[in-house]
């Protein structure tokens, strides 16, 4: 049984069936429970690995975005310098000769 695609209704039905005394008296009941438990543990381990991998990719992407943002800011300052546009501490633009534009 593949437990990855079970719906909540399927899980509720499975719980109901496994709680049935007639099912509990079957010879393969314990083996079935062990297999379900192991498969659930594998699925949880897989999900934990996927979350960790996603977290790592998000951190790498944030670092790349931060570096790109710094590069864009530097390029904007370089372009303003090449155009002769100066900015003072209030970030007002001044043209050539200190004339306010």
pLDDT number for residue 1: 55
First to last CA, the chain: 74
Decide: pTM greater than 0.85. no
Supply the mean pLDDT for the chain. 82
Give per-residue pLDDT as tens, 66-90: 999 888 888 888 888 788 776 654 5
pLDDT number for residue 83: 80
CA–CA dist 101, 59 (Å, integer): 42
Q: Do residues 29 and 23 touch, judged by C-beta distance below 8 A?
A: yes
Give per-residue pLDDT as tens, 5-19: 778 898 899 889 889
- Domain ranges within the chain, ordered by starting residue: 8-98
pLDDT number for residue 97: 54
């Amino acid at each position: 049984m593949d437990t990855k695609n079970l719906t909540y209704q399927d899980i509720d039905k499975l719980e109901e069936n496994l709680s049935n005394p007639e099912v509990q008296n079957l010879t393969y009941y314990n083996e079935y429970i062990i297999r379900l438990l192991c498969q659930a543990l594998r699925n949880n381990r897989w999900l934990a690995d996927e979350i960790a991998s996603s977290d790592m990719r998000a951190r790498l992407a944030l670092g790349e975005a931060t570096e790109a943002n710094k590069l864009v800011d530097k390029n904007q300052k370089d372009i303003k310098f090449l155009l002769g546009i100066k900015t003072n501490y209030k970030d007002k633009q001044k043209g050539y000769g200190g004339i306010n534009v």
